[in-house]
């Protein structure tokens, strides 16, 4: 090796070290600057930094604001007033969010951009020293609140791809899409290592292997934030929901992990995603609603109150020993979840004297929460119907937080720490908004297609039914919801709970195209010569095994968070009360599903029997947020009654195109790396669906057929 080359290599490695060292201190590097800004701030300005109100909490009426935004004739003054944006100036607010909704009839790019720009104007008036207003959004699988956005597979499908580089590239584009709509903060990725599939957020988890969650979590954060030369050029990311959100007893959302083991063992499972996110310099961490061993700890271990082992503060101060021998310490800021501080106080009040609002907020801030997410006016304490409303407006919380500080419940040092952490993140953020949205969406569609193909798992393929021979197919019989984009995309799609049907996937704005195709539309395009039938068409007797195929679809109805929990008889959780066979969620007044599985309905099952008897192949596609029991119910069991079955999870807008390619052999299962293999075990019976899947699995993690 020449001297010159040696010198070059030495320089390169030196250079690499410097970048790594600098990058490790991305936020700390901004601390002195942040502290200087802090010195010049009034107390009110400092308090305002800690508040993160939802847009619809600011608005007087949840309907008035979107209507004003959609009205081209509304003046800036009318808009600011209808949306309550003047409070941003009044309370010196440094961050706002758009919650899950639905809020807008037409949540378009133009509407979001307009609202965020007006909010930024108010922020400049109220907090001229603050470098940036943070605007947050749940872009959890694409810029997914936006009508006409390209939607990617949910995390469970990305887990199936086992493709970290693909996840990183997707996150870069989702970050840019988010910035294009005026959101510079994304509440993703979820780093739950989900244990019990009854949990309604299972699909937000990449999988059940901590190492997979670590790798894909690192990739997602690094793509979203897209750090260049020490600056975050994408939106800031959020590692959520710290920690053990996927380990609650019975899979109850926001429940108790009932975990009594060691901190180290707990971290080695549920902390792995955070190790990955911290390696990628994640700017924010969102605390979970769940608790660790709450029952034994007097309802005081809710994560918004710091959690068992004072885990939130520990990660921020001394740090935590990682599974890889490294020490992980967090220098960004911690944000609470939706009304997290007050919700945690409801549980606390079951065994403790009721706290006042200033006391509740102080408890959360002292437990390590730097910024409080205020979702909606706090509803009454579900455990005490006679309770007062804790707050109605952002102003109520502002006053209570200031009172807490003035009464000494929050120390000057703690306020300094929280505010400077937030400012340091803002100083590190230099977002590069993309200019060409049409090109961005074209790039997104290409990646969403790749991801969708790699996210499918072939669970059954008897007699090599797949791939179908496109030259032979003359007749396709569709059974079930094969033409429904809502089901194909799941929860957190446009609306919080998602929706059924095909509305929202095209946009009134010309240049916008989600590229959405249903399975039925995709196959029709790919096989224009084929005759298409539905169940009610009673297709002719001339159909034969050689020239026909039945494509059956079964799907979970979309859901998000606790709305997707599956009830069970062991659980006497406080949020639920037992009411005969089906439980009622006392908080929502809604009954729960109790069976984690899908069946063909009777008409479909009968027709399938008839086609099968004639040798016509039955290919079933399953849209679901998680593995489900599919082998229950005799003739209505999708797995036993199909010749081939694809678990498609929630593949996104390009899912229909991807499925049709996979059915016809244009994409071959398992042709890319370890793609098309399960990241969760698959159950045979409901008895197997327990917290840790103790009873084995019908298909283990890693299963997936090639074709
Ligand atoms: C969810 C979070 C989400 C937040 C804002 C919460 O209820 O748990 O995942 O980021 O709302 O929509
Ligand atoms: C969700 C929000 C959603 C809200 C609707 C919350 O729990 O996290 O994103 O908008 O409920 O009421």
**DSSP three-state, residue 53:** strand
Instruction: Over range 685-697, report the average pLDDT.
Output: 74
* Ligand 1 nearest atom to the CA of residue 100, by list position: 12
- Interstrand relation of 227-228 and 231-232 (parallel, antiparallel or unpaired): antiparallel
Does residue 581 register a pLDDT over 60?
no
- Please work out whether the CB of residue 533 comes within 6 Å of at least one atom of ligand 2: no
pLDDT of residue 585: 55
Contacts for 636 with CB less than 8 Å, ≥ 6 apart: 599, 600, 601, 602, 605
pLDDT, tens only, 42-90: 999 999 999 999 999 999 777 799 999 999 999 999 999 999 999 999 9
- 100-140 tens-digit pLDDT: 988 888 899 999 999 999 999 999 999 999 999 999 999 99
Percent of the chain with pLDDT over 90: 80
Q: Please state the rounded mean pLDDT for residues 361-372.
A: 98
Ligand 2 mutation target, pool 496, 498, 499, 589, most atoms within 8 A of CB: 496
Residues 6+ apart with CB under 8 A from 291: 255, 256, 257, 297, 299, 301, 302, 303, 307, 308, 347
Q: How far, in Å, CA of 302 to CA of 343, rounded?
A: 9
Q: Whose CA is nearest to atom 6 of ligand 1?
A: 338
Indicate if the pLDDT at residue 583 is higher than 80.
no
pLDDT at 579 over 70: no
Q: Looking at ligand 2, which residue's alpha carbon is closest to its atom 2?
A: 100
Please work out whether the CB of residue 100 comes within 6 Å of at least one atom of ligand 2.
yes
Q: Is 99 in the pocket of ligand 2 (CB under 6 A)?
A: yes
Residue of 671, 664, 672, 610 whose CA lies nearest to 635 = 610
DSSP-assigned letter for residue 354: P
Mean pLDDT of 366-390: 87
Please report which residue ranges of 235-331 form alpha helices under DSSP H: 263-270, 272-279, 311-316
pLDDT at residue 451 tops 90: yes
490-498 mean pLDDT:
94
pLDDT value at 382 more than 90: no
pLDDT tops 80 at residue 215: yes
The predicted model scores a pTM of: 0.94
Report the atom number in ligand 2 closest to the C-alpha of 337.
8
Is residue 322's pLDDT more than 70? yes
What's the gap in Å between 111 CA and the centre of ligand 1? 22
Q: For 297-325, what is the mean pLDDT?
A: 94
Q: How far is the CA of 338 from the centre of ligand 2 (A)?
A: 7
Q: What is the pLDDT of residue 589?
A: 58
Q: Name the residue at shortest CA distance from atom 12 of ligand 1.
A: 99
The whole-number pLDDT of residue 2 equals 38
Query: Mean pLDDT across the stretch 324-348?
Result: 95
Q: Is 101 near ligand 2, meaning CB less than 6 Å away?
A: yes
Tell me the average pLDDT across 439-446: 98
Say yes or no to pLDDT of 1 above 60: no
Nearest CA to ligand 2 atom 3: 100
189-193, 386-390, 625-629: least confident range:
386-390
3-state helix/strand/coil string of 319-341: CEECCCCCEECCCCEEECCCCHH
The string of pLDDT tens digits covering residues 2-25 is: 333 333 333 333 333 333 333 448
**Confidence at residue 23, expressed as pLDDT on a 0 to 100 scale:** 40
Give the residue-averaged pLDDT of 358-370: 98
Ligand 2 and 375: CB distance under 6 A: yes
pLDDT of residue 13: 38
Q: Is the pLDDT of residue 555 over 60?
A: yes
Q: Does 338 sit in the ligand 2 pocket, CB within 6 Å? A: yes
């Amino acid at each position: 090796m020449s001297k010159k080359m040696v010198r070059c290599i030495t320089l390169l490695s030196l250079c690499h070290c410097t970048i790594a060292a600098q990058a490790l201190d991305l936020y700390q590097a901004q601390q002195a600057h942040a502290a200087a800004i802090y010195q010049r701030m009034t107390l009110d300005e400092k308090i305002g930094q800690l508040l993160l109100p939802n847009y619809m909490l600011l608005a007087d009426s949840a309907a008035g604001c979107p209507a004003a935004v959609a009205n081209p004739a509304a003046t800036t003054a009318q808009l600011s007033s209808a949306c309550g944006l003047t409070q941003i100036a009044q309370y010196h607010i440094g961050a706002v969010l758009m919650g899950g909704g639905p809020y807008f009839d037409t949540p378009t790019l133009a509407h979001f951009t307009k609202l965020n720009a007006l909010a930024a104007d108010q922020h400049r008036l109220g907090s001229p020293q603050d470098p940036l207003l943070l605007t947050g959004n749940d872009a959890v699988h694409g810029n997914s609140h936006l009508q006409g956005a390209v939607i990617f597979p949910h995390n469970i499908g990305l887990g199936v791809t086992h493709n970290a580089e693909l996840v990183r590239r997707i996150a870069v584009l989702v970050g840019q899409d988010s910035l294009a709509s005026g959101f510079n903060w994304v509440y993703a990725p979820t780093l739950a290592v989900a244990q019990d599939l009854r949990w309604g957020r299972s699909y937000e988890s990449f999988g059940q292997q901590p190492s997979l969650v670590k790798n894909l979590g690192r990739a997602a954060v690094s793509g979203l934030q897209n750090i260049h030369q020490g600056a975050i050029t994408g939106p800031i990311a959020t590692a959520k929901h710290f920690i053990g959100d996927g380990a609650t007893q019975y899979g109850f959302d926001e429940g108790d992990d009932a975990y009594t083991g060691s901190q180290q063992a707990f971290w080695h499972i549920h902390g792995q995603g955070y190790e990955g996110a911290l390696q990628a310099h994640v700017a924010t961490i969102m605390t979970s609603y769940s608790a660790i061993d709450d029952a034994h700890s007097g309802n005081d271990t809710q994560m918004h109150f710091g959690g068992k082992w004072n885990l939130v503060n520990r990660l921020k101060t001394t740090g935590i020993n990682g599974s890889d021998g490294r020490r992980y310490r967090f220098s960004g800021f911690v944000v609470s979840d939706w009304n997290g501080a007050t919700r945690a106080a409801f549980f606390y009040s079951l065994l403790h004297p009721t706290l006042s609002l200033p006391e509740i907020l102080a408890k959360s801030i002292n437990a390590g929460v730097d910024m409080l997410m205020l979702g909606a006016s706090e509803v009454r304490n579900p455990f005490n119907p006679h309770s007062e409303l804790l707050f109605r407006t952002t102003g109520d919380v502002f006053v209570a937080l200031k009172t807490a500080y003035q009464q000494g419940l929050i120390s000057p040092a703690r306020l300094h720490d929280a505010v400077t952490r937030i400012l340091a993140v803002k100083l590190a953020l230099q977002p590069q908004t993309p200019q060409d949205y049409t090109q961005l969406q074209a790039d997104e569609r290409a990646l969403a297609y790749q991801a969708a193909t790699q996210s499918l798992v072939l669970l059954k393929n008897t007699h090599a039914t797949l791939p179908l021979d496109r030259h032979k197919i003359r007749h396709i019989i569709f059974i079930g919801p094969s033409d429904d984009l809502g089901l194909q995309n799941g929860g957190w799609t446009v609306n919080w709970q998602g929706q059924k049907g095909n509305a929202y996937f095209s946009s009134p704005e010309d240049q916008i195209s989600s590229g959405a195709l249903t399975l039925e539309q995709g196959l029709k395009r790919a096989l224009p010569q084929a005759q298409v039938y539905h169940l009610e068409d009673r297709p002719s007797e001339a159909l034969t095994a050689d020239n026909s195929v039945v494509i059956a679809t079964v799907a979970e109805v979309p859901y998000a968070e606790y709305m997707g929990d599956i009830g069970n008889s062991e659980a006497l959780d406080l949020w639920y009360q037992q009411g005969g066979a089906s439980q009622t969620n006392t908080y929502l007044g809604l009954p729960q599903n109790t069976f984690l599985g899908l069946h063909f309905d009777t008409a479909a099952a009968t027709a399938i029997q008839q086609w099968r008897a004639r040798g016509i192949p039955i290919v079933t596609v399953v849209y679901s947020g998680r593995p489900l029991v599919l082998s229950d119910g005799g003739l209505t069991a999708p797995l036993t009654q199909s010749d081939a079955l694809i678990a498609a999870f929630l593949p996104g807008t390009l899912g229909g195109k991807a499925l049709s390619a996979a059915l016809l052999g244009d994409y071959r299962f398992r042709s890319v790396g370890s793609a098309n293999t399960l990241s969760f075990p698959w159950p045979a019976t409901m008895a197997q669906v327990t917290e840790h899947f103790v009873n084995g699995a019908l298909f283990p993690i890693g299963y997936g057929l090639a074709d």
